[in-house]
Structure 1
Amino acid sequence: MSKDKVVVITGASSGIGEASARLLAQNGFQVFGGARDPKRAHPIAGVRFGTVDVTDDASVSNFVEWVLSEAGKIDILINNAGVSLVGPVENTSISEAHKVFDTNVFGPLRMIRAVLPSMRAARSGLIINVSSVLGFLPAPFMGVYASSKHALEGLSESLDHEIRGFNVCVVLLEPTFTNTKLDVNAAQTEIPLGVYATQADATIKAVQAQIRTAPSPRAVADKILAAIDGPYRMRQPAGGQATLLSRLRRFMPAGAVDRSLRKTFGFGKRSAS
């Protein structure tokens, strides 16, 4: 069955996108990988790369039209392209925040709008939006990135209700920190840390320590394959730690969750007001 399935993956030249493209191709899917610069992508047997900048309407339209002209359909869209940003919310400029949202929220929206007409016509389709545990948890000094993932989750859940009647479904995939260039080389806000420097440095060190022992992109790719082949669930944490965090968020008292998160991110006890 997978040999008949056409998959489109954005951000396919590295990290989770590259690992997913390789794994799906190995499992017989027809894979079209989107990248801003396909020349920088490592060749993968069974994967055809094309140019797509998810922040550009024309680029998205041209890419999707190319896939449809080559394959005749798109069965699965994996919105994986993303950018990160580290720094205090107060120090984040509107232009920096706009750049994050343009890729992480408006990028998936552009891709969704481009592929949905053909999926609706076929009355079949699956859209996988790669979110994060930061889509349901806060992340100090990653506030704009976390808010973009929160926004993606709201968009995805609303969309799922709208298109279910056309036999098209949405999956929210929620990895925890993953050992990729996105997490390791996250951009930092241009304004110096200033009064936040001490705590921000401690938090960044705590996060980097987690990334060093974090799952590889292949672990997330395995979860994507399982989401395609397995029983449908809209919200799917990727991995044991992500599943645990999801359950803690839902069932633990708010105060306990707050204390656990502050400890994880290198904070001391909350000061008395």
Structure 2
Amino acid sequence: MTQRTVLITGASSGMGAAAARLFAARGWRVYGGARRETLIPTAPNITALHLDVTVHSDNVRFVSQVMTDQPRIDVLINNAGYGEFGPLEEVPLSAVHQQLATNLLGAADLTQLVIPIMRRQRSGRIVNISSIAGDIYTPLGGWYYVSKHALNVWSDTLDVELRQFGLRSVVVAPGDTASSWSAIALQHAAANLTTDSPYRGLLTAMQGVLTTGERVSGATSADLATVFYRAATAPHPRRRYYHSPLDQFLTHVARAHPTLYHQAMVAGTRFIMRHPH
């Protein structure tokens, strides 16, 4: 049997790095891409390549290198992403463009490059790493949530279009994960505040909420890597993959009861402003 090939973006840390190690350990040929390629795990079956998904020439070079080495591409995992947090009134539009370019348009660019290859093969899968934030929201994360909601809709539309060719596009939606993600998102939020911002109190209150969620969730990068693997290999894939029933329940509530969820966010924000951690 021909060794299967997977492309993983954002493979230098967190879930992406854990997924690279897992796929390689299970016999896949892994091509990991990241801006800091020296941090991509080194192991048999892993090839580390420089990749900034917001740069089209990087994406072309990444896919071209894989096709030079391998006869096929079985799976593309669009994992690269980050959280551009901050109040919607104050986040600069330049930062918004970077958020969408990384979390959505980079995935779209790579996918457009890979689909013709998969279509000729009559097989292949696109795994898009979104978030439960594609359905839920909290204060200060608006543009991040927009990017993930858009990724979900894009993936679902793509899936409908690709099924005729024997291809699938699916979404993995992690919830809170034990990683540095929230710390980085909070750094962005602080950087995006104006000097006399009226939202400083809200940021202080939200710091405790975001970091507490990561501490108590119990989900590690390795846990999510196994979800990536299921999404990539299931014979009859689902549209969505979650790590835990709680993550799935939260998205269900937000979708099925949007007014109730919004009211809960309003009440919760008032509470944490009065009782910050």
1:262 CA displacement? 4.5
Instruction: Select 2:216's aligned residue among 196, 203, 213.
Output: 213
- Corresponding residue for residue 191 of structure 1: 193
1:266 CA displacement? 4.3
In structure 2, C-alpha distance between the alignment counterparts of 1:128 and 1:105, rounded to whole Å: 13
Unaligned 5+ segments in structure 2 are: 273-277
For the 8 Å contact 1:4–1:29, the answer to whether it is kept is yes
Identity %: 31
Q: TM-score, normalised by structure 2?
A: 0.90
- With 238-247 and 96-105 compared, the bigger mean Cα shift is at 238-247
SS state at 2:192 partner:
coil
Amino acid at match of 2:4: K
For the 8 Å contact 2:130–2:171, the answer to whether it is kept is yes
SS state at 2:242 partner:
strand
* Alignment coverage as a number of residue pairs: 267
In structure 2, C-alpha distance between the alignment counterparts of 1:254 and 1:119, rounded to whole Å: 38
- Corresponding residue for residue 243 of structure 2: 238
Task: Say what the alpha-carbon RMSD is for the aligned residues.
Answer: 2.0
In structure 1, C-alpha distance between the alignment counterparts of 2:172 and 2:270, rounded to whole Å: 28
- Corresponding residue for residue 83 of structure 1: 82
- Corresponding residue for residue 271 of structure 2: 268
Distance 1:94 1:123, change over 3 A: same
For the 8 Å contact 1:101–1:148, the answer to whether it is kept is yes
Amino acid at match of 1:140: P
SS state at 1:89 partner:
coil
- Corresponding residue for residue 23 of structure 1: 22
Distance 1:191 1:197, change over 3 A: closer
- With 146-155 and 237-246 compared, the bigger mean Cα shift is at 237-246
Amino acid at match of 1:190: N
1:241 CA displacement? 2.1
Amino acid at match of 1:244: F
Post-superposition Cα deviations, 1:227-263, rounded to whole Å, max 9, x if no partner, equal 2233310122232321121222244x33432244446
Distance 1:207 1:267, change over 3 A: farther
For the 8 Å contact 2:21–2:41, the answer to whether it is kept is no
Instruction: Select 1:247's aligned residue among 228, 245, 252.
Output: 252
For the 8 Å contact 1:206–1:266, the answer to whether it is kept is no
1:4 CA displacement? 2.5
1:5 CA displacement? 1.5
Distance 1:55 1:181, change over 3 A: same
SS state at 2:47 partner:
strand
In structure 2, C-alpha distance between the alignment counterparts of 1:145 and 1:130, rounded to whole Å: 13
For the 8 Å contact 1:199–1:267, the answer to whether it is kept is no
1:27 CA displacement? 1.3
Post-superposition Cα deviations, 1:80-104, rounded to whole Å, max 9, x if no partner, equal 0002122100011110101111100
- Corresponding residue for residue 103 of structure 2: 104
Q: TM-score, normalised by structure 1?
A: 0.91
- With 232-241 and 73-82 compared, the bigger mean Cα shift is at 232-241
- Corresponding residue for residue 65 of structure 2: 66
**Structure 1 runs, 4 residues or longer, greater than 6 Å off:** none
Post-superposition Cα deviations, 1:33-73, rounded to whole Å, max 9, x if no partner, equal 11113123231332111111101001100110000111121
Amino acid at match of 1:235: R
- With 124-133 and 225-234 compared, the bigger mean Cα shift is at 225-234
- Corresponding residue for residue 275 of structure 2: none
SS state at 1:220 partner:
helix
For the 8 Å contact 2:11–2:32, the answer to whether it is kept is yes
- With 101-110 and 202-211 compared, the bigger mean Cα shift is at 202-211
Asked if residue 119 in structure 1 is aligned to residue 118 in structure 2, the reply is yes
For the 8 Å contact 2:193–2:199, the answer to whether it is kept is no
SS state at 1:249 partner:
helix
Amino acid at match of 2:228: I
Distance 1:260 1:44, change over 3 A: farther
Unaligned 5+ segments in structure 1 are: none
For the 8 Å contact 1:7–1:77, the answer to whether it is kept is yes
SS state at 1:267 partner:
helix
For the 8 Å contact 2:125–2:167, the answer to whether it is kept is yes
